[in-house]
Amino acid sequence: MAAALINNQASELSYMSKFLNAFLIGLIVGLGILYFYWRDTQQSAMILELQSDIEKLSQQTEEHLQATSDSPLTFSEMEQTYLPPIQQDIFENRQNAITTAIAHTKDAVVGINVVQVREYANPLRSDPFFRMFFDERMWPRTVKRSFTNIGSGFITTPDGYIVTNEHVVHDAVEIMVTTTAGDKYEAQVIGTDPLLDMALLRIDGENLPFVTWAHSEDAIVGEWVIAIGNPYGLFDVNDQPSVSVGVISAVERNFERDGDGRLYSDMIQTDAAINRGNSGGPLINAEGKSLGMNTMIFSESGGSVGIGFAIPAHRIIASIDDLLRGGVNRDYWIGIRATDLTGIMWRKLGLTQNRGALVTSVDKESPAAEVGIQIWDVICEINGYPIDTSADAREYLRNTDLRVGQSITMSVNRRGTYHDFVLELKPRPGSEINLEG
């Protein structure tokens, strides 16, 4: 009896377990069916909404085109007009001070291609075989060779005046200027100043785009600048200049004369890339005005390493004025010869220390003689620059842009007493006027 009861209970439990399993499986399947049905409904609604938006946009576009049929939009205008809001914001934010400055200036930048002729020593005269069979006096000491050079420049007036570096057009027999409009002009050299590495060219044009000048004395270290030019002749590819962006790294950088006799002073340093062919192009600020002219770099490889230099605008403007007046006469005359102090000479001359340049002769009727400088005077300063040796005096005069007509102040010690003399630089007697330019 008890066994029969137990069997009945076990049978009932087995039945209930199967029922619960079937119910759970059915519930899960039902929930899955409901989920997929809900998802399909949502997607259908989104598709219908999107189709409605597209139809509305198409209708608005058609109505707008019909309303403006007399002046249809260009493709670029339509693209800007109908950009989605997010893309429109991105497009507008891409326009900034730098892109505006470039757009305002780039058409005034030109590519310069130059044919140069230079003289070299005749290699045949140094050839042992040649000298064995031929008389070297029959052959010229030098030979001329022509080669091409590239550079940049920029138009400074609407009637075609262009500035560039002198080293770009040095020894040029032909100068071809290319504008962003694809026009080519043969340029005329108005004047050059090799010392300052400045050249002024002119092309025959009217109403040309031109660069305006910034106040380079107000340049700020750290402000954004853009170098524009013709690196490696890329301007010739599609008549468009290349741009590089950086900041002003330093100002008023001064250098001694280089091997070619050029003197770079008050230079603006920038990390904007300047490469071969960039020489002569403008260095512009965020207002689209030229702070200077890209001129040289420091590099071990020959390419940009982020240390470039530009001639400041105020020096370029002054040089343009000089060149338009015919050039600059730097063949000045002072009329002094000096040497170093030796031994205890400085004590005999009443000096408190052994420094200065001893005047050993003064030319008659020279600027030095006219102001009263005498033999045995010791030059201690020139324009406030300390002079310890006669070499210091020569280096100062060599590395300063002095011209006929300017004045310099010499501070001399005359047997223990200091005197200041102001000398006006005069042309060297017996020499023709030497105008650099």
Residues tagged active-site: 167, 197, 279
Buried b / exposed e across 48-60, counting CB within 10 Å, b at 16+?
eeeeeeeeeeeee
Measured CA to CA, the distance from residue 70 to residue 373 in angstroms comes to: 85
Question: Taking phi first (over 0 means left), then psi (-120 to 50 degrees means alpha), and beta for anything else, what does residue 391 get?
Answer: alpha
Cβ burial, residue 434 (10 Å; 0-12/13-18/19+): middle
The residues near 17 (Cβ < 8 Å, ≥ 6 apart) are none
User: Per DSSP, what are the bridge partners of residue 146?
Assistant: 117
Q: Would you state the structure tokens that stand for residue 90, as one six-digit string?
A: 């991105």
Contact 127, 134 (CB under 8 A): no
* Alpha-helical runs (H) found in 325-366: 345-348
Residues making up the chain, counted from first to last: 437
Dist CA 435 CA 325 (whole Å): 10
3-state helix, strand, coil in the chain (%, to 5): 35, 30, 35
